[in-house]
Chains A and B, each alone.
Chain A
Amino acid sequence: MRACLPGVINLVTNSPEDAADVVDELIAHPATRRINFTGSTRVGRIIAEKGGAHLKRVLLELGGKAPIVVLGDADLDRAAAAASFGAFFHQGQICMSTERIVVDRTVADALAEKLAERARALPVGDPREQSTAIGPLINRAAVERVSGLVEDAVGKGAKALSGGEADGPCFPPTVLTGITPEMRIYSEESFGPLVTILPVDGPDEAVEVANDTEYGLSAAVFSENVGAALELAQRIESGICHINDTTVHDEPQMPFGGVKASGFGRFGGRAALEEFTELRWITVQSLPRHYPI
């Protein structure tokens, strides 16, 4: 059984050490007209540079540091559930993963405790077991990177309300408080099951902190006042923003994509159609024209 015409879809897999060669060849080939890359911001920059050298349009879906902004009037149970899913689903290894909870100081402790309670209850272990919610990180290097981020933060005064230490190939869901901008976790994408609590005083500071990142893929705002949430959503620098929902959400017909170091271009629906076609200008001159020379 097959669905397609031969050659319309081709698949090339490569060993990591050959990536530069293979990517070079794919981008430089004269028949290649669009380059669509999903991956890290570090590699995305390389792809964009190579695409630029050949004057080819590049679409990039890169890293993120998604915030959930929780205003003082938010439904904290809903916010905690959304944050737990957004931060820990697939061990936080999703470009849209919730990395930061920017929360009004009046409800910060209550929300942090609700989230930590959920985090502690998530079963960690063998992903082949049906009861497991949190499986292993993708490889050993990822476990070391995530451990390093937590050690750096805790060493500088942060506190882990849950998790905090690797368990073999797994890293338990970790809620960190007492975060300062000097900690690596404040600005670096964790791409792991870590989430930071960032208390703020009011919506203006919430926007400021939410935007204090090089990334801008997904975001969310929780408030019972949808008007205020919408106003705030418009001030957040991100390609995607969900009101009263989590940051991890995708549908094929929606214009998915980011701003800033999260890349550019939109995937899904009509937006994708425009990205992958060439807009042309064609005219028909029906009357003879007078040309000056």
Chain B
Amino acid sequence: MTTVDLDHQQLLIGGDWTGAKSGREYEQSFPFTGDQVGWAAAAGRDDARKAVDAAAAAFGEWSQSAPAMRRQILNKAADLLMKRQVEIAGIVTEETGGVFGWGMFNVELAAGMLREAAAQAYGLMGEVIPSDVPGKLAMGRPGARRRGRRDRALERARDPVHARGGDAARVREHGRAQGFGDLPPHPRRHRAGADRCGPACPA
């Protein structure tokens, strides 16, 4: 990995800092004085295509990685950003004319966004929606679902106090037939079918 040159902002493609294919740059100036404060790579079509190619190539491994790893990486990125908060706020002032507090606020917000994304690493959940077709287990929309009659029957069956007669065995059998396998014990709500699909899942 190459290092970052703050006076000549490069493109980041596939983990490498690189200039534009054309070699062109554009100037950034300090709005208060008009003085030139740095240069940035002026990407063209080829660079843009390469960047998306690199993202697509990285997606498979990233999407299959453990949520714990993604959380750790995102939190580490937030830590690294906050370590450089003052330095970046200074650059924000030079490039946008914003006061120091504006840059500090933006870096903190950006770090917060990374931490919030980290917190969502385990956030993808699914739900079971009853199907009208016998023997069909349907899984779908993430989010809360309403407790239905079957939920109540399942809970009753798993509840040693309220289970009566053959309820438990009957409901467990029904659950197995539905493809749930063995039902988790009461009082945990079952999440038999969690449909997970990572960011920008290839359809």
Residues of chain A whose beta carbon lies under 8 Å from any beta carbon of chain B: 1-16, 18, 21-22, 24-26, 29, 31-34, 89-91, 125-128, 130, 132-139, 169-170, 250-253, 268-270, 272-274, 276-287, 289
Contact B197 A280 (CB under 8 A): yes
Contact B58 A12 (CB under 8 A): no
Contact A3 B80 (CB under 8 A): yes
Flag the segment in B107-115, B145-153, B164-172 that touches A.
B107-115
Identify B42's interface contact among A18, A134, A278, A281, CB under 8 A.
A18
Q: Which residue of A lies closest to B90 (CB)?
A: A128
Q: Indicate whether B136 reaches chain A with its CB closer than 8 angstroms.
A: yes
Per DSSP, chain B at the interface is: mixed
Contacts of A10 in B (CB 8 A): 11-14, 51-52, 54-55
Known pairs A10-B12, A127-B32, A280-B197; A31 contacts B93 (CB<8 A): no
A92 smallest CB distance to B (angstroms): 12
A44 smallest CB distance to B (angstroms): 19
Residues of chain B whose beta carbon lies under 8 Å from any beta carbon of chain A: 1, 9, 11-16, 24, 26, 31-34, 40-45, 47-49, 51-59, 61-62, 65, 73-74, 76-77, 80, 93, 96-100, 102, 109, 112-113, 115-117, 119-120, 123-124, 131, 133-142, 177-179, 193, 195, 197-203
Known pairs A136-B32, A253-B116; A18 contacts B54 (CB<8 A): no
Contact A8 B41 (CB under 8 A): no
Top 8 A-B residue pairs of the complex, sorted by shortest distance between their CB atoms = A6-B15, A287-B135, A7-B58, A31-B56, A15-B26, A3-B77, A252-B116, A25-B48
Contact A285 B14 (CB under 8 A): no
Q: Which residue of B lies closest to A24 (CB)?
A: B45
Contacts of B45 in A (CB 8 A): 21-22, 24-25
Known pairs A18-B43, A26-B48; A284 contacts B15 (CB<8 A): no
Contact A15 B179 (CB under 8 A): no
Known pairs A3-B80, A277-B124, A284-B179; A127 contacts B97 (CB<8 A): yes
Bound-state Cα–Cα, A56 to B177, Å: 39
Contacts of B136 in A (CB 8 A): 283-286
Bound-state Cα–Cα, A138 to B97, Å: 6
Bound-state Cα–Cα, A286 to B116, Å: 39
Contact A12 B102 (CB under 8 A): no
Q: Can you list 25 residue pairs at the A/B interface with Cβ under 8 Å? A: A2-B1, A5-B65, A6-B58, A10-B11, A13-B9, A16-B26, A18-B44, A25-B45, A25-B48, A26-B51, A91-B97, A126-B32, A127-B97, A127-B99, A138-B96, A169-B31, A273-B123, A276-B200, A277-B142, A278-B203, A283-B131, A283-B139, A286-B137, A287-B134, A287-B135
A133 smallest CB distance to B (angstroms): 7
Contacts of A268 in B (CB 8 A): 113, 116
Q: Which residue of B lies closest to A251 (CB)?
A: B112
